[in-house]
Structure 1
Amino acid sequence: MTEALDLGDGRELGYRCYGAPDGLVVVNCHGGLVCGLDAAPFDTVARDLGIRIVSPDRPGLGASGAAPGRTTGDWAGDVQALLDVLGADTASVLGWSMGGQYALACAALLPDRIRSTAVVAGCRPLDDDSTFRELNTMDRRLTLLARHHPHVAATTFRALGGIARHTPAAWAHLTLRAAQPDEASTLEALPDPGIAAAAAAALDGGDGMVEEYRAWVRPWGFAPADIPGPVTFWHGDADDLVPPAWSAALAAAVPHGRLERVPGAGHFLGYTHTADILRGLTG
């Protein structure tokens, strides 16, 4: 069930809770082209581990109101308000792919609230042109389209959302082309709501995803070196979407960063190594 938090600035923050209702809180920062529904498949594992996953939608996506011009660092304020409402003095934070930098924002800007952080296949700051050129072709094209032709980008995202909503099998097929065989079989076996539902909700209307792609290449508003707490960077060495070297560089830049490189894993290792990743946040 989606809940809504009034942020007091005219926006609402939509979020969902999975796992153990009274468990240790882990805030999920969802991946790209999806919303907070991407954590739904973690429900059983989180319950078994005594973890409560709180999974909000970023501004303009799913059930959350838009915040034009937002930066990565701004996300920490939304998460702080969410933790206050939940009565959680401290929490851990998890970010996958495009969500990795948002998890790092919480770790950097909420040092008294965030105990530990896990980033799965996360990206380095993309306001650097040389790093941006290393990005996969699809995300690079979508980013440029959102920056220079936002109306066309919105139409494109609406069309993709229509595929996800009306032909989820076709959306899953498109997604699984970037997955390793074990990841593909895991994703195919996910219960409802699956990855297509998370994408359909995020892409609805198109404009929110345009701003999402514009925001992730803006300066973060903090540096990895600013993060005082422990951060584990998980990355599969067969990831074709985000270069594994990016996680190695981030782990070296964070004072208490640690790299977990997973042999043979691809971009979707969060779904095949869920228990290991979540267990690492509870130590």
Structure 2
Amino acid sequence: MPSAAVRRSEADQLIETLHTVAADPALWESLVTALADAPADAPSETDMDGLEDAPVGPPAVGLLLLAADGAVVGWNAAGKSLLRGKLGADDAAGRPLFSPANHEALVEARRRLGETGAAQVIVRLVQAEDEDPRFAYVGPIEALPAMLRQGVEGREAPRAKVAVIFPAPENTDRLWMTVRASFGLTAAETRLAARLKAGRTLKEAADDLGVSLNTVRNQLRAVFDKMGLNRQSELVRALAQLSALSNSIQPEPAIVSASEAGALMAAPPVRIHRLPDGRALAYRVYGRPDGRPCMVFHQGLGSSLLPRGSDELARDLGLRIVCAERPGVGRSDLHPDLSLEAVAADLGDLTRALDMRRVRVAAMMYGAAFALSYAEDMAGEVEHVLLASARPTGAAPERPEDRRNPLVLLRRRMLRLRWVAGPMYAVFRRRLSHSLVERMVRAGASAPGDGAYLARHPGVVDFIQAYMGESLTRGSEGVARETVLLASSDGASWPRLRAPVSVWHGAEDTVTSVEEVLSWLGHAPHQVRVFDGVGHFLPHKHWPEIMGWMAA
């Protein structure tokens, strides 16, 4: 049995390691090793030219029609395929909808059309699968050429107010495949050419691609050499002549971009509810005041901040989404005796104060246990519960495959050594920065699908940093206490739970398998969906489908 002095020395060494790792996450393996030998008990002390028209025939295009509220009410085959495969998803009733970021961009495009009276606005849309963004024209339905109306489907198409037009997927994809194959461009050079054709400056292209300005300059010289060009403007003209929609481009169009970045700036304001004992419970409301009531439970080290565009999409889906920050997290006050039941009671008081009835509940990751306790406590008022990438309570044993992901191993050892959570989050709060979060997120994206998603959606790092920063607004104690609570709740159960529970999980999840979630749940689920090609990024990648589920 080690002496108290030896244990304090080991703890001091561990905390020193924490400080080092917070400054350089490349040293995570050192921390994992330190945790392996740490004492189980806490020590007592411790310049672009405009694109030219090209003489082409009628363009092969995708078409989507939007109603005044932003709902997709009509489409042609190419439009529907692109929307469902790359720009959005279907809700639970099978209706197509854009992802929140794209929905928000289209709301802004409609606003600009109304304010400027322009014939069309170019929108930059983010895609779920392709690495490059997709560009579309948005204009009033009255300006839609008759030839493009052919093949339109959708029973509600007559109420369309806005048309969204873009190159058919095979057309644009073939364009870049042809350019790359014809001139021998590398993948990086092709991505740069795509951004320059879209109107980006070299500096903007470098920022989009996450590389230095010198790197894109070198890539541009290589493109010039391979294509026999001399100037950037010539490259843009050459690409425009290959484009099926080049005859439709207007000079100096307005461009609206969709991105996960900037969620904090676009989010609804934080509200404060006073609980019976005087504590503050912080929350945000997304969507319509009279919309269908939904309660969202954020992930661990999370906040009431939802992905960008959620407010607009919730409004157009007819939802009223409430997301509260748990005790001690964000701007909510600490609870003197934190427990799953205490959190459920706080959220129940908020639900009654907001007069929410027949509530749908969605929980992300470590919010799952709190959501189940809330659903049990609220009895008949909870209509259905969705657990997305649920994390069971208790300290899970280490597995051989955990060694491939230092973040997973770090989390497992931190849950086993619960006293480490306090100093760990305190150091993390002091050192929180974009570069730190980016390196953490990249290290955590060990599943192939997660790594690919992160490469295509770099703005998600900004979103994660924003909600992590909010979670630590008042300090780190709340997050640490929640971590300890979840690690200590090994035998959590919900015998009085009556609401049906659906489980959505990523097939590549390296933290918890769907089988472990179902075993922990202890109830026969209403539905189990396992998503291929995604790990623990499921709540990010499939957030529009989660919102569609809430609206079903």
Give the TM-score taking structure 1 as reference length.
Answer: 0.85
By how many angstroms is 1:196 displaced? 0.6
Counterpart pick for 2:346 among 67, 78, 89: 78
Q: Distance in 2 between matches of 1:18 and 1:133?
A: 39
- Residues 162 and 185 of structure 1: CA distance in aligned 2, closer, same or farther (over 3 Å): farther
Q: Distance in 2 between matches of 1:89 and 1:160?
A: 39
Provide structure 2 residue ranges, at least 5 long, that are not aligned to the other structure. 1-268, 403-407
What's the counterpart of residue 168 of structure 1? 434
What's the counterpart of residue 243 of structure 1? 513
Correspondences of 1:217-256 after superposition (within 5 Å): 217-219=487-489, 223-250=493-520, 253-256=522-525
Q: Contact conserved, 2:293 with 2:357, CA < 8 A, in 1?
A: no
Q: Distance in 1 between matches of 2:520 and 2:546?
A: 17
Higher relative contact order (CA 8 A, sep 6+): 1
Q: Distance in 2 between matches of 1:220 and 1:105?
A: 14
State the AA in 2 paired with 1:106: Y
Correspondences of 1:31-180 after superposition (within 5 Å): 31-38=299-306, 42-126=310-394, 131-133=396-398, 136-145=408-417, 147-149=418-420, 153-164=421-432, 167-179=433-445, 180=450
Q: Distance in 2 between matches of 1:45 and 1:226?
A: 34
Q: Distance in 1 between matches of 2:436 and 2:419?
A: 28
Provide structure 1 residue ranges, at least 5 long, that are not aligned to the other structure. none
Q: Contact conserved, 2:348 with 2:377, CA < 8 A, in 1?
A: no
By how many angstroms is 1:191 displaced? 9.7
Residue 181 (structure 1) aligned with residue 447 (structure 2): no
- Residues 255 and 244 of structure 1: CA distance in aligned 2, closer, same or farther (over 3 Å): closer
Give per-residue Cα distances to partners, 1:142-199, cap 9 Å, x unaligned: 3344x335xxx433213222343xx22431331233231343146523497x211211
By how many angstroms is 1:68 displaced? 3.7
Question: How big is the alpha-carbon RMSD for the aligned residues of Structure 1 and Structure 2?
Answer: 2.6
State the AA in 1 paired with 2:284: R
Percent of aligned pairs with the same amino acid: 25
Q: Contact conserved, 2:285 with 2:322, CA < 8 A, in 1?
A: yes
State the number of aligned residues.
272
By how many angstroms is 1:269 displaced? 0.9
SS of the residue 2:444 aligns to: coil
Q: Contact conserved, 1:95 with 1:103, CA < 8 A, in 2?
A: yes
- Residues 187 and 48 of structure 1: CA distance in aligned 2, closer, same or farther (over 3 Å): farther
Query: Rg: which structure is higher?
Result: 2
Give the TM-score taking structure 2 as reference length.
Answer: 0.46
What's the counterpart of residue 281 of structure 2? 13
State the AA in 1 paired with 2:454: A
By how many angstroms is 1:274 displaced? 1.4
